[in-house]
């Protein structure tokens, strides 16, 4: 049976990669992976947020079904000693039961301990998803199931001086070398926390910070509004100062002298930093690919590369993630398996996060549980068909915005008013209008023209609305009903973004 490696990136914009059309940013290793496998141009995350996306990847379910929530709260507030979500069999458990050795290395940000979810080996930061220290000088916890019941018990803790990704990459390469020639195959879930903020000076090695000239970076059309370039001092500080968000959410505090941005800092500077982080990520991906080749197991290893969500980076003058726009929901989605996958670029089939689990199980000849809500993409990977009968992805965000993404259209609606902000960049701002959106992404790839209510799109709008509403009405929540709005959202209702 083949080995399986999932390389899961964090906040990786599809538009930042060479294989997805970016000729400015250097990503030779991801491009190499794509050229040897099948790249879905329409990779879609079913929830553009960290914990929900990871839950969908590992369970093959929408986050409301897998977690009973659509935000990060299950990971941030649950006890890791309990399994109160992800109650159906998930991917590592099925591989483990089939005789695979299962390992998880890198960012965790899930509600339960890795050993409760089917992993034999786990290495992750002690402070769960806490980036106060940035990407330098953090403590990691490493454990094996033969040493303790849970990875948090009796684990070996290591304080890593310097750039943490050098340490994590070495551990990943060691894992591959250790298990390469074992009788049983392995499943490795390697999560790289980049190019997620913090980025820029002090957060990444200087070679990446200075790699791209801000004056030369290309910008997306929708970062301009009425001719003005997106600018947000608060967000610029969140991106570049590792502890800024932790000091200011939910209650803002006075800035320190060291919080001042460099004079003249703008979106071009931030974009250059982000692209440097993208290349740093690409180098880490290359080290994994080289390790597989050095171990002589590339031909017998399935490699999947994707990301939990994209990066807005000033699109529509919004930052971060979590929106019903392509910058948030479109992600890289690449499958490589030389023995069975035909190298190609697929531009017609929508491939979503919930499809990864059923695809990998069919590709390895394992039976998946009936609880999966995704579909196998194997016939597309093998070149037997270019599209499947179901060719769309359903999306939900923690702001209770839901959407359906087809190869051509994105339709969305609000199903619960969180009162978080008064205006969203995709819903109509006309007084009395419903919070709906429809975009033709072939003619309007930057989502600048909401088509809802236009007579010539009435039939398309009605069809997509019916599909999305039916999905919302029939897709179950893990604990029966949607959860209450989280305190942080209630406290910040009406705050500017």
Tens digits of per-residue pLDDT, 277-330? 999 999 999 999 999 999 999 999 999 999 999 999 999 999 999 999 999 999
Same domain, 136 and 281: yes
What pLDDT, on a 0 to 100 scale, did the predictor assign at position 350?
A: 98
| Helix (H) / strand (E) containing 363 | helix 356-363
Same domain, 92 and 184: yes
Same domain, 368 and 445: no
pLDDT band for 492, please (50, 70, 90 cuts): low
pLDDT tens, residue by residue, 359-375: 999 999 999 999 999 99
Which CATH number goes with the domain that contains 469? 3.30.1120.10
pLDDT tens, residue by residue, 78-127: 788 889 999 999 999 999 999 999 999 999 999 999 999 999 999 999 86
Residue 495 has pLDDT above 50, yes or no: no
What pLDDT, on a 0 to 100 scale, did the predictor assign at position 129?
A: 44
% of residues, the chain, pLDDT over 70: 97
Q: Which residue has the tokens 């500017």?
A: 496
CA-CA-CA-CA torsion sign (377, 381, 387, 392): positive
Q: Is residue 237 part of a domain?
A: no
**Helix and strand numbers, DSSP H then E, in the chain:** 15, 16
Same domain, 324 and 468: no
Same domain, 113 and 11: yes
Residue where a domain terminates, one of 324, 346, 381: 381
Residue 134 has pLDDT above 90, yes or no: no
Give the mean model confidence (pLDDT) for residues 145-165: 87
Which CATH number goes with the domain that contains 299? 3.40.720.10
CA distances from 110 to 66, 209, 265, 443 (A): 11, 30, 35, 38
Residue where a domain terminates, one of 346, 381, 416: 381
| Helix (H) / strand (E) containing 190 | strand 186-195
**Whole-model pTM?**
0.96
Please tell me the total count of domains within the chain. Answer: 2
DSSP state of 53: H
By residue count, the chain amounts to 497
Residue where a domain terminates, one of 381, 406, 432: 381
Q: Is residue 242 part of a domain?
A: no
Residue 130 has pLDDT above 80, yes or no: no
Q: Is residue 120 part of a domain?
A: yes
Structural domain of residue 418, as residue ranges?
A: 393-491
């Amino acid at each position: 049976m083949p080995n399986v490696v999932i390389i899961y990136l964090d906040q990786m914009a599809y538009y930042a990669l060479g294989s997805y059309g970016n000729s400015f940013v250097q990503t030779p290793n991801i491009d190499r992976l794509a050229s040897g496998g099948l790249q879905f141009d329409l990779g879609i995350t079913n929830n553009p947020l960290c914990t929900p996306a990871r839950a969908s990847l590992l369970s093959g379910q929408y986050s409301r079904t897998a977690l009973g929530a659509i935000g990060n709260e299950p990971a941030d507030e649950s006890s890791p000693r309990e399994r109160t979500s992800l109650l159906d069999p998930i991917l590592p458990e099925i591989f483990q039961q089939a005789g695979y050795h299962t390992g998880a290395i890198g960012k965790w940000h899930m509600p339960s301990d890795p050993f409760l979810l089917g992993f034999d080996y786990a290495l992750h930061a002690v402070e769960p998803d806490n980036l106060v220290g940035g990407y330098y000088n953090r403590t990691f916890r490493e454990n094996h199931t033969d040493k303790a019941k849970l990875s948090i018990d009796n684990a070996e803790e290591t304080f890593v001086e310097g750039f943490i990704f050098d340490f994590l990459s070495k551990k990943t390469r060691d894992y591959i070398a250790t298990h390469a020639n074992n009788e049983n195959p392995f499943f490795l879930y390697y999560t790289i926390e980049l190019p997620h903020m913090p980025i820029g000076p002090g957060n990444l090695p200087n070679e990446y910070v200075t790699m791209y000239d801000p004056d030369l970076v290309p910008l997306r059309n929708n970062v301009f509004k009425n001719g003005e370039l997106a600018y947000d001092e608060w967000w610029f500080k969140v991106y570049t100062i590792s502890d800024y968000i932790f000091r200011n959410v939910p209650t803002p505090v006075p800035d320190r002298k060291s919080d001042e941005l460099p004079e003249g800092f703008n979106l071009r500077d931030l974009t250059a930093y982000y692209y440097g982080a993208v290349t740093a990520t690409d180098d880490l991906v290359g080290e994994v690919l080289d390790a597989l080749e050095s171990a002589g197991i590339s031909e017998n290893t399935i490699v999947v590369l994707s990301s939990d969500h994209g990066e807005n980076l000033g699109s529509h003058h919004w930052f971060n993630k979590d929106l019903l726009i392509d910058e948030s929901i479109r992600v890289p989605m690449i499958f490589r398996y030389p023995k069975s996958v035909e190298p190609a670029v697929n531009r017609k089939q929508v491939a979503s996060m919930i499809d990864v689990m059923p695809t990998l199980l069919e590709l390895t000849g394992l039976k998946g549980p009936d609880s999966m809500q995704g579909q196998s993409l194997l016939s597309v990977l093998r070149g037997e068909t270019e599209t499947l009968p179901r060719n769309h992805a359903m999306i939900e965000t923690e702001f209770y915005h839901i959407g359906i993404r087809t190869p051509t259209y994105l339709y969305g609606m609000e199903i619960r008013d969180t009162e978080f902000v008064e205006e969203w960049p995709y819903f109509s701002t006309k007084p009395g209008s419903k919070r709906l959106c429809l975009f033709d992404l072939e003619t309007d790839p930057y989502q600048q023209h909401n088509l809802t209510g236009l007579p010539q799109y009435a039939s398309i709008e009605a069809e997509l609305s019916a599909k999305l509403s039916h999905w919302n009405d029939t897709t179950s929540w893990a604990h029966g009903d949607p959860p209450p709005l989280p305190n942080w959202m209630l406290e910040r209702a009406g705050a500017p973004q």
